[in-house]
Amino acid sequence: MTSLIMKKHIYIYSPSGAVRDKAAFRRGVKRLEKLGHEVEVDEAALASHMRFAGDDATRLASIHRAAASGADVALISRGGYGLTRILPGIHYKAVAKAIDKGMLFVGISDFTAFQNAVYAKTGAITWAGPALCEGFGVGGRAALEPGQTQAPALLPDDIMEACFDDLLSGQGEGAGWRQHRETGGDTTNLIAASAHPASARGTFGLKKATLWGGNLSVLCSMLGTPYFPEVKGGLLFLEDIAEHPYRLERMLTQLLHSGVLARQKAVILGQFTDYKLVPHDRGFKLQSVIDWLRLQVKVPVLTNLPYGHVATKVLLPVGAPCDLMVEGRDALLFWGND
């Protein structure tokens, strides 16, 4: 796929974990350049200190260099861990000033800490999307198909790249998806109907609700801090990786008992991947958690948002007012219709 948008200045920096897969990093840079962009790599992007991309001062400085770079996009190299420990040192006014001038801060996973802190402190909007290595640095080859002598090389996901292009060109206005098919009745529609009398057939709309959230583990780690946004009437989206369903339920319980879930207009579940069920579960699985959650809250709980630690992902504006439209299994988020 070839990008048809004008060249953009993309700044690559590493505010979280150290980049161990240097090949993926190089592939990501080359891919962005092939798409026609100017790529600037932060001086400490490949730094390493224990499991981090440099010590705390180094990673803080990289954030501030990104904000001062004048780039169109500040894209993290990878997630991992490290942002929550440096939140007090971030110059939030400088970040918000860069955003006000048009800079797009994009990232995933551990970046949830930065995004929600920025919103809590300044109200500025950042973007949940790919990181350089996992999004644009895809490598290797696909599985060999019958009749093939050589499998095709793996490339970044077309939908993800199209959404990224839409963001850079200013064309991104929303995202649509189809929820999982429910078994044993359409629980989503029943809950939605009880919360919204006009949606008895599973058709309802929510207007101008703040979209926020991200990685569930990171978000829960921010509860009770000044970096956790106090969002009322929001659309809370969540995803996670390598967390068993019982751990997901435990974290959702924390959001429930703290009152966060009750203050939302909807909970939107993304992709929860790379966990392993065990015999001790005796049938307890992710759907069990979803069914339990729907019994705890009086708002719609949607599923299968194409966002998380997966190849195919949309980009989402964290902190932006959005409209949500649901008709049966089909859901649409709009943020570009001011």
| Active site amino acids | 109, 239, 309
Residue 149: how many CB atoms within 10 A of its CB? 5
**Length in residues, the chain:** 338
How far apart (Å, rounded) are the C-alpha atoms in residues 39 and 93?
25
Q: Which two tokens stand for residue 196?
A: 């919204």
Q: Is 304 left (phi over 0), alpha (psi -120 to 50) or beta?
A: left
* Selection from 260, 221, 263 nearest residue 240 by Cα: 221
Q: How far apart are CA 27 and CA 152, in angstroms?
A: 16
Classify 247 as helix, strand or coil: helix
**9 to 29, 37, 81: CA distances (angstroms):** 12, 6, 26
- CA dist., res. 78 & res. 12, Å (int): 10
H helix or E strand, kind and range, residue 191: helix 187-195
